[in-house]
Structure 1
């Protein structure tokens, strides 16, 4: 599969490239997730780490449940270090998630 993502959206974890679309695709398959966006946030040890912003489909969904799901479905360096629940994600007029706005708020 070819991953198409903006270079500036790419997350660099300890020298490994992590593509937000790849994380979002995996996490979006969780039945409790309505929407998800992944960004990189600064990290002292690895340069950047993935952070997820999630809109719940299931109100009972917890950070722990989602972290466990990520442990089962993502390679170590691709797993999010942080998960933040939101009621909505910032979007362009055509409905594309604005990762830049999330980075500014992170």
Structure 2
């Protein structure tokens, strides 16, 4: 979604240690990013992405690397499809799915 030539000012996301805002020139750190919304603020615009989780590294030379396996802008998702998938997942999670669904949910 973003390249090294983009001038990122701030990144907001949910890390394993809690919500975080990483500004340009941030103290060097490594954080695990939880699945969810990641906001990237550039000098000229702000963008949101739904990510599958990953990690972020702030380097001593003020470079910020954000590694997320899968990410997509929120507008690429259909609210109706998301609602249907969530309903199906909750059905299986509460034990009300078919035997086939329950077995499928246990597969790694």
Q: Which category describes the TM-score, using the shorter chain as reference length?
A: under 0.3
Larger RCO, structures 1/2 (Cα 8 Å, 6+ apart): 1
TM-score (norm 2): 0.24
Q: Compare the two structures and name the one with the higher helix fraction.
A: 1
**Which one has the bigger strand percentage?**
2
